[in-house]
Amino acid sequence: MAKVTREVVERSGINVDQLLELLIKNASAELTTFYYYTILRFNLIGLEGEGVKEIAETARIEDRNHFEALVPRIYELGGKLPRNMNDFHDISACPPAYLPDDPTDVRKILEVLVGAERCAVRGYTQICNMTAGKDHRTYDLAQAILNEEIEHESWFSEFLGEGPSGHFLRRGETSPFVSKFLK
């Protein structure tokens, strides 16, 4: 634990235990989403599915990156990940992104994907609201992740016919916002 780091966050008025619980729940959501997106991506096949596969893969890799970026902050603040993977799964900040009953229904898969991203957007907005102007490092991290989650949402939303995403697919490396936390 980074003792002074935790102290200054506490002195800013943030309930650090509450913040840690949120960070751990969101780290769980990222790792479990990485797992579930693997299954979704494998089922994005055929004339409809192939077009979605690439962004699903980008979102999958970036969600794993989010998990990797969150964990150091959890330990800096004095938190830790659950010992048991089952417990970790069950405390996720977002529901499991299960493969739909009909795995050939690409629209249903897209609805699962966009639902997961919307949950993440809400979660990181909450953390940003909680830490803005108080816990600069957690805010910076949560904001970086939020930027990527918003892009993921907009990509899937576009495929669902909700309007243009306003974004191109990634060019080059993944996680343009979060990569600074991974070095």
Partner 1 sequence: MKKFTQAELSRYNGENGIPIFISYRGKVYDVSDSFLWKKGKHQALHNAGVDLTEELNAAPHGAELLEKFPVIGILED
Interacting residues of 170 by C-beta distance below 8 A, sequence separation 6+:
58, 176
Q: Residue 143 or 174: which CB sits closer to partner 1?
A: 143
CB atoms within 10 A of CB 14: 17
Judged by CB under 8 A, the number of residues near partner 1 is 17
The piece of 45-53, 121-129, 136-144, 162-170 that touches partner 1 (CB under 8 A) is 121-129
Which whole-number Å values give the CA distances from 173 to 67, 92, 98, 170, 178, in the listed order?
17, 27, 27, 7, 11
Short-list 86, 145, 144, CA closest to 119: 145
Does position 120 bind partner 1 by CB under 8 A? Answer: no
Please identify which residue in 95, 102, 107, 169 interacts with partner 1, judged by CB under 8 A.
Answer: 95
Contact 181, 141 (CB under 8 A): yes
Q: Residue 90 or 162: which CB sits closer to partner 1?
A: 90
Q: Residue 39 or 121: which CB sits closer to partner 1?
A: 121
Binding site for partner 1 (CB under 8 A): 18, 21-22, 25, 90-96, 121-123, 125-126, 129
